[in-house]
Structure 1
Amino acid sequence: MSEAIGDYGMIGDLRTAALVSATGRLAWLCWPDFDSQACFASLLGDEANGSWLLAPKSFNCSVRRYLPGTLVLETTFIEATGARVAVTDFMPLGKRQSSVVRIVRGVAGRSRMRTCFAPRFDYGNAQPRLEQLEDCTWSAVTGPHRITLRTNVQLRCEKGDIESEWLVHEGETSFFALQHSNSYLEPIPSAINAEHAERETIAHWSEWTSRSTYQGQYRDAVERSMLTLKGLTSAESGGFIAAPTTSLPEKVGGRRNWDYRFCWLRDTTFSILGLMHCGYRTEAKAWLEWLSRSVQGNPKTLKTLYGLTGKREHSEWEAKWLPGYRGSKPVQIGNKASDQLQLDTFGEVMDALYRARRMGLYPLEDRSGRALELPLLEHLEKIWTEPDCGLWEFRLGPQQFTQSKVMAWVAFDRGIRMVEKYGIKGPVDRWRKIRSKIHKQVCDRGFHRGMNSFTQAYGSKHVDASLLLLPLVGFLPPSDPRICGTVKAIEKNLLRKGLLLRYDTKRVTDGLPAGEGAFLACNFWLVDVYVVQGRMAEARAHFERLLKFRNDLGLLSEEYDAKQGLVGNFPQAFSHVALINSALAFELGTSARLLDLDSTQSR
């Protein structure tokens, strides 16, 4: 059975990422890119679906850490005899071929180590052809993929896998270097000097971390979240994925399993603000350039999510041979939510472009708005009244979601601000009328007077945690009685044992069986709302409660379940971005999204 989701750590090289468990098992790796087929997929099945074990043959426990300021993972195994051995896992950066390096160091006493190297390409469905190239060097080939394993340990082939057992004494070092290459175009890669690569990788990550300008109370948590976000970024395109995994369940044993190896447009504004306020201007600029390349063209074909290179087609299919994480099926490859109408996407993109102008990061030479903003708003004028699938990507059918309409309001609001502050040429009087019309409609149809709360959708009697964004995007002041009533209703109806659900799946029909964990990003939004409402003690208490749900390495998944721990795809960018922005809210005294929005803006 797969280990708990929180038992994994992530290593990466800004092209892809691998998950390594506390027991020394590399259980997930897509090669050569984040969205490539997995060649180790036991995370969603068992050892037969591909894994790489490297650990003592017997041990009592392990203690893990990232080397300070890096994505270099160190796991120290402790045996009953008192013997200790450390395994350092990392992926070198900036190399022609993506690679994984694992270094074993004897720390105390003598340890009998064991490795079992069992790659399976095509998401665990294809066993490769193994070939010994020379002493201690093996190659595994399937179709276009070749991976080459070099070590200073004697290996043997057993039943199609590569295995070994050997003794490591205190002060001794063993290394394993695994490189990916094309099987028919490229020669076998040159050997890696493992310890030299380790020093280079530590130096690279340490230098990047040193550029952070955040000096607040929660520096360690922010630093780890920033490193995680960076680790989910493509150095080539500047885009970052929501998570490096697919189909880790929101409810163990359930069907709420999705592929998150894509870039969601709605992550844009929070991400840019977090990056900029922590000193990472280069990364913010690269993300905006990715955004501008991806969304240009006919706004009728705007997607909610894209591939790392801006790819638009993401057909969804099921890997039926994989049993799923602890039996959670289906295992989905691709994500058909990309074809949904989600109106909030327009608001997030327009908000991001407005912030880009304010921060001097606008990604196009042509600042007139003709390439991006004007076509988006022209199309939104025609469709904002339509029902959509909403922030949560309901698959049951479109509805008139309140938060979607609010984000349509945001789109026109930011367009108006760009005319007023940055001189773009647009039909500002018409936009003002539409903005006022949307605002009135939301307040009339999205607010339930009997509940004294905004609701998930027009005519609904259910609340939704996405409504916490209303005061954070400037739709109404945080002190407005309707906002105060909404926050109270959310606390009353969605808090479970101190954690917030995004909505109650037992009461809201969304087309899937009920049950999921608490959505962590929503909980950080609650912190932000507490801050802007001046409820600082409650904000700090809730924030520090959330920090306790990180795993021992400081990582968060999408959701948290009281019985299962971290659930959903892992590690999750949206959760870490939300953590960063909440930490910033304590330093700024407000949400970063409200900093440059005047309170007298016309509704």
Structure 2
Amino acid sequence: MANLDLGIIGNCNISALVDGKGSIVWSCFPRLDGDAVFNSLLNDADRSGGDGEFSLQLVDQVHSQQEYLPNSAILRTVLSDRHGGLVEIIDFTPRFALYERIYRPPMIVRRIQPLQGRPRIRVRLRPRFGNGGVVPQITRGSNHVRYVSADQTLRLTTSAPISYVIEERSFVLDRPFDMILGSDESLQAGIEATARDLYERTVEHWRSWVRSLSIPFEWQDAVIRAAITLKICNFEETGAIVAALTTSIPEAPDTQRNWDYRFCWLRDAYFVIHALNRLGVTRMMEDYLRFIGDIVEGASEDGLRPVYGITRDSSIDETVAEHLKGYRGLGPVRLGNQAHLQVQNDVYGSIVLASTHAFFDRRLTHPGDATLFEQLERLGQRAIAVFDQPDAGPWELRTSAHAHTFSAVMCWAACDRLAKIASHIGSRDRATFWRREADRLHAAICDRAWNAELGTFVSTFDGADMDATLLLLHEVDFLDAADPRFAATVDAVAAALRTGDFLYRYVAEDDFGRPKTAFVICVFWYIDALAAIGRKAEARALFEQVLDKRNPLGLLSEDIDPRTGELWGNFPQTYSMVGLINCATRLSRHWEEAF
């Protein structure tokens, strides 16, 4: 049965999910949001059919183990059979500097070699185009196979016996072979030499990238894996950051909460670059600032959308892929996301918060200027106009709208940061204006979002319910950590939402009933809040417990069953990996304290 004990490989153009047996069960070509040509994760409830899968099956297999090569996005899987045979699979997507730019082709490389005995292996390569609905035509050459549809062609070039690959016939693995799957292009050198060169350059690229990180003293391996994962979720060509690499892995069984996350949410992306900035990843931040700069430049008077395609496409209407059964048969499988039509008023704060880096971070090669400030001021004016208006909120309610506290606070944050930017660039009159507006919004939010009877901030104006975004009131500087209202709110959120080691995002009934699983990022927000109010020992203990719930390769999805620890929701979830990084950097001892 399918599960989320998966590894990911990627190069900031394409990615692939690999299960514990070395099968590629999800991958989109020719980019992160493209055609899901490998889709068995969502189309094979009992994992017996093999369509939409790229597997290397060891005959009489009894065991497998998996790990990443240190400080890289290269995955190593070792399969063992009952006769003592061992096979090693090295999976990666090439990524390295070439001709003064990053080479990141839509290509998967698999290097297979026997380690022990005379193992027998079967290659099952069954791409399905049209998101699983189209069986390709197959043509062959002396060392390659072409998989052809009307819209796309993939070519496998390999040193394995081509006939055995096409016929899915097992053969004795008595020597290494390589498999290079990608665009319909001939190699310019031998197969083995090409695969070896791509491997060596990719290893060095990732290890060099990791060496540039400013990591905390404690939990280094966890932080490095989270940082690499976030980088893989970056569509580097435009700077967009997807929320996850998959679509329609349910938040919980039998809930219909199946969404496509292969798009860029302005809210999520801000938190991603903020976390990576703490690690010194400035290039990715600059790329994202360029992405949102183009969004701001082209914004209409109707305002910003909460989510965009990775090329800023705003036409990502939701459809259902009827021919895909869904994860464990739990459909529907949705393509596109209707949230792009929602009103989510926190987007103005998300844009301004992210753009603030351009004015204050001296490492950036393209600092903010008067033109950018003027563009941001237009967003600030929108924030003033809508801060107290009903919207779908951060949790994207589909059939109801309220004046959400988080949305209002993010609108305040837009005004607050604009005041700081104006002061920094020497515009006193604008600094005065934006500070006055920020103070006005702050007072209004405190008046309507603070429930005096309950003694806590609440999730909506004049409401009584709790939601986990209230834990961010200090993170975005709305409240000082020493403010007793913040500590009271932290305790109230935990009392209402915590189950075991995790927190629900809210417990009120929504469009699909009551949530059944906890939202992983919420526990990281809680841990951060505990540390901020001085309960650091408690925060550290909880953080260690949460780290134990990662999958065997150190990855997290969107949701978790707090009772069983089973991961649910789209995978890997950038929000979750961001939370891990933030908590580790906040809680870790300093290097000087460690010796």
Are the equivalent residues in 2 in contact too, given 1:288–1:362 (CA < 8 A)? no
Are the equivalent residues in 2 in contact too, given 1:356–1:362 (CA < 8 A)? no
- Give the drift of 1:437: 2.9
Residue number among 116, 125, 141 corresponding to 2:148 in the alignment: 141
Tell me which residue corresponds to 1:197.
198
- Whole-Å Cα distance in 1 between the matches of residues 254 and 328 of structure 2? 7
Tell me which residue corresponds to 2:25.
27
- Whole-Å Cα distance in 1 between the matches of residues 574 and 40 of structure 2? 22
Tell me which residue corresponds to 1:519.
519
Letter in 2 for 1:531: A
Are the equivalent residues in 1 in contact too, given 2:349–2:383 (CA < 8 A)? no
After superposition, residues 45-56 of structure 1 pair within 5 angstroms as 45-46=43-44, 47=49, 49-56=51-58
Structure 1 residue 473 and structure 2 residue 476: aligned? yes
- Provide, for residues 84-120 of structure 1, a one-character-per-residue CA deviation record: whole Å limited to 9, x for no partner: 2111111112557421111111112221111111110
- Whole-Å Cα distance in 1 between the matches of residues 565 and 512 of structure 2? 20
Unaligned runs of 5+ in 2: 96-101, 591-595
Letter in 2 for 1:62: S
Tell me which residue corresponds to 2:241.
240
Letter in 2 for 1:149: L
Are the equivalent residues in 1 in contact too, given 2:57–2:124 (CA < 8 A)? no
- Give the drift of 1:331: 1.0
Letter in 1 for 2:138: L
Tell me which residue corresponds to 2:140.
132
- Give the drift of 1:215: 4.1
Are the equivalent residues in 1 in contact too, given 2:109–2:181 (CA < 8 A)? yes
Residue number among 386, 394, 399 corresponding to 1:396 in the alignment: 399
Call closer, same or farther: CA 1:112–1:249 in 2, change over 3 Å. Answer: same
- Provide, for residues 354-412 of structure 1, a one-character-per-residue CA deviation record: whole Å limited to 9, x for no partner: 23311133856643545421111122222222111111111122111111111111111
After superposition, residues 381-420 of structure 1 pair within 5 angstroms as 381-420=384-423
After superposition, residues 40-439 of structure 1 pair within 5 angstroms as 40-46=38-44, 47=49, 49-93=51-95, 94-95=102-103, 97-134=105-142, 136-156=143-163, 162-169=167-174, 172-181=175-184, 188=186, 190=188, 192=191, 193-297=194-298, 298=300, 300-360=302-362, 361=364, 363=366, 366-424=369-427, 427-439=430-442
Secondary structure, counterpart of 1:27 in structure 2: strand
- Whole-Å Cα distance in 1 between the matches of residues 50 and 160 of structure 2? 24
Are the equivalent residues in 2 in contact too, given 1:115–1:165 (CA < 8 A)? yes
Tell me which residue corresponds to 2:99.
none
- Whole-Å Cα distance in 1 between the matches of residues 361 and 368 of structure 2? 15
Tell me which residue corresponds to 2:533.
533
Call closer, same or farther: CA 1:240–1:479 in 2, change over 3 Å. Answer: same
Are the equivalent residues in 1 in contact too, given 2:521–2:579 (CA < 8 A)? yes
- Once the two structures are aligned, what percentage of the paired residues are identical? 34
Structure 1 residue 491 and structure 2 residue 494: aligned? yes
- Give the drift of 1:528: 1.0
- Give the drift of 1:255: 0.7
Call closer, same or farther: CA 1:99–1:268 in 2, change over 3 Å. Answer: closer
Secondary structure, counterpart of 2:329 in structure 1: coil
Are the equivalent residues in 1 in contact too, given 2:359–2:367 (CA < 8 A)? no
- Give the drift of 1:481: 2.0
Letter in 1 for 2:3: A
- Give the drift of 1:427: 4.3
Are the equivalent residues in 2 in contact too, given 1:97–1:189 (CA < 8 A)? no
- Whole-Å Cα distance in 2 between the matches of residues 425 and 146 of structure 1? 58
- Whole-Å Cα distance in 2 between the matches of residues 268 and 474 of structure 1? 19
Tell me which residue corresponds to 1:595.
none
Are the equivalent residues in 2 in contact too, given 1:237–1:309 (CA < 8 A)? yes
Call closer, same or farther: CA 1:252–1:189 in 2, change over 3 Å. Answer: farther
- Give the drift of 1:582: 1.4
Are the equivalent residues in 2 in contact too, given 1:299–1:379 (CA < 8 A)? no
Call closer, same or farther: CA 1:283–1:95 in 2, change over 3 Å. Answer: closer
- Provide, for residues 464-517 of structure 1, a one-character-per-residue CA deviation record: whole Å limited to 9, x for no partner: 11100011111111222221111111111111112111111xxx1321133332
- Whole-Å Cα distance in 1 between the matches of residues 573 and 202 of structure 2? 23
Letter in 1 for 2:179: F
- Whole-Å Cα distance in 2 between the matches of residues 410 and 575 of structure 1? 23
Backbone CA RMSD of aligned residues: 2.1
Are the equivalent residues in 1 in contact too, given 2:268–2:575 (CA < 8 A)? yes
Are the equivalent residues in 1 in contact too, given 2:18–2:25 (CA < 8 A)? yes
- Give the drift of 1:261: 0.6
- Whole-Å Cα distance in 2 between the matches of residues 417 and 327 of structure 1? 51
- Whole-Å Cα distance in 1 between the matches of residues 20 and 393 of structure 2? 37
- Whole-Å Cα distance in 2 between the matches of residues 180 and 225 of structure 1? 29
After superposition, residues 504-583 of structure 1 pair within 5 angstroms as 504=507, 508-561=508-561, 562-563=563-564, 565-583=566-584
- Given the two structures, how large is their TM-score scaled by the length of structure 1? 0.91
- Provide, for residues 506-536 of structure 1, a one-character-per-residue CA deviation record: whole Å limited to 9, x for no partner: xx13211333321111111111111111111
- Give the drift of 1:259: 0.7
Are the equivalent residues in 1 in contact too, given 2:25–2:54 (CA < 8 A)? yes
- Provide, for residues 236-277 of structure 1, a one-character-per-residue CA deviation record: whole Å limited to 9, x for no partner: 222221111111111123211111111111124432332222
- Give the drift of 1:560: 1.3
- Give the drift of 1:299: 5.2
